[in-house]
Amino acid sequence: MAFLRPLQPIRQGPRLLLGVSFFVLFVAVWAFATLGGFVSPTFLADPLTMVQDGWILLTQYGFAADIGVTMWRVIGGFVMAAVIAVPLGIAMGAYAPVEAFFEPFVSFARYLPASAFIPLLILWAGIGETQKLLVIFIGSVFQITLMVAGQVAGTRRDLVEAAYTLGAGDGGVVRRVLIPANAPDIAETLRLVLGWAWTYVIVAEFIGSSSGIGHMIIESQALLATGQIIFGIIVIGLIGLASDFLFKAVNRRLFPWRLA
């Protein structure tokens, strides 16, 4: 079938239709299992109850403020990580001595789960915003660094040699070849790691937090309010999906030759 030909692109209309169809099917199965009585509401609320609980959270319990707090934490911690990781990754990919110095530690640190640092961070920074930002920072900075370093190190050698032939110096090769050639891939790396940052912030909000989406979820768990829990999870997914589309749109605008 031509429709299922490997690596064959499809038009935007069918792509959107297929994507929406999965969500419709998912909600239909969920509604059938819960409204049909196959799953106890204690364990899984039905879609209608979830919507009602979500409306109550937004209108009576100030959940919109929790959403704003969580978004601020994600953006703050992620930007802190990117500001350090992107230049360091470029330096590691461009210069072998820098890579030899940093790579063993960065490779070691990236395997350490950010959630394991939460008890220490609470001792060092308390349970305020600094602790939440540091959890996201630790969870993101090493991943971004290694991914960026690998992308820069894999730059086509013919481009570098051509730059030297045309008279570019070492710094000029980095500024005019390595960074522009890898900018689209670096942007894609940031998009992917931003999704991981949401995982870190929710875990951080489960412990020692009085606000945020994660705090609402853990409070709802104590009350067996599965509708509220599901609503919080869906809100995270919707915000992540929106940020993903925004990232892709910006990347297409900035790098039209690489991102279709």
In degrees, rounded to 5, the angle at the alpha carbon of residue 222 between the alpha carbons of residues 199 and 232 is 40
Residue 47 Ramachandran class (φ > 0 left, ψ -120 to 50 alpha, else beta)? alpha
The answer to whether position 7 is within a domain reads: no
Q: Is the pLDDT of residue 182 over 70?
A: yes
> Cβ distance 118 to 207 under 8 Å?
yes
Confidence (pLDDT) at 258: 64
If you average pLDDT over each of 72-86, 152-166, 179-193, which comes out highest? 72-86
CA distance 40 to 43: 6
Domain range enclosing 108: 62-254
Confidence (pLDDT) at 53: 92
Q: Is the pLDDT of residue 91 over 70?
A: yes
What 3-state class would DSSP assign to 52? helix
CA distance 238 to 244: 10
The answer to whether position 213 is within a domain reads: yes
Q: Is the pLDDT of residue 82 over 90?
A: yes
pLDDT for 125-178, tens place per residue? 887 888 889 999 999 999 999 999 999 988 888 777 777 777 777 777 788 888
Confidence (pLDDT) at 257: 64
If you average pLDDT over each of 55-69, 162-176, 238-252, which comes out highest? 55-69
Residue 169 Ramachandran class (φ > 0 left, ψ -120 to 50 alpha, else beta)? beta
Instruction: Give me the chain's average pLDDT, please.
Output: 87
The answer to whether position 32 is within a domain reads: no
> Cβ distance 127 to 209 under 8 Å?
yes
Q: How many residues can be counted in the chain?
A: 260
The answer to whether position 41 is within a domain reads: no
Q: Is the pLDDT of residue 260 over 80?
A: no
> Of 173, 248, 250, which is closest to residue 12 (Cα–Cα)?
248
pTM for the full predicted model: 0.85
The answer to whether position 101 is within a domain reads: yes
Q: Is the pLDDT of residue 1 over 60?
A: no
Which positions ≥6 away from 227 have C-beta within 8 Å?
45, 49, 50, 52, 53, 54
CA distance 106 to 83: 16
Domain count, the chain: 1
Q: Is the pLDDT of residue 43 over 80?
A: yes
Confidence (pLDDT) at 173: 79
Instruction: Give how far Cα 117 sits from Cα of 134, 197, 204, 233, Å.
Output: 9, 15, 10, 24
Confidence (pLDDT) at 73: 92
The answer to whether position 20 is within a domain reads: no
The answer to whether position 6 is within a domain reads: no
The answer to whether position 235 is within a domain reads: yes
CATH number at residue 131: 1.10.3720.10
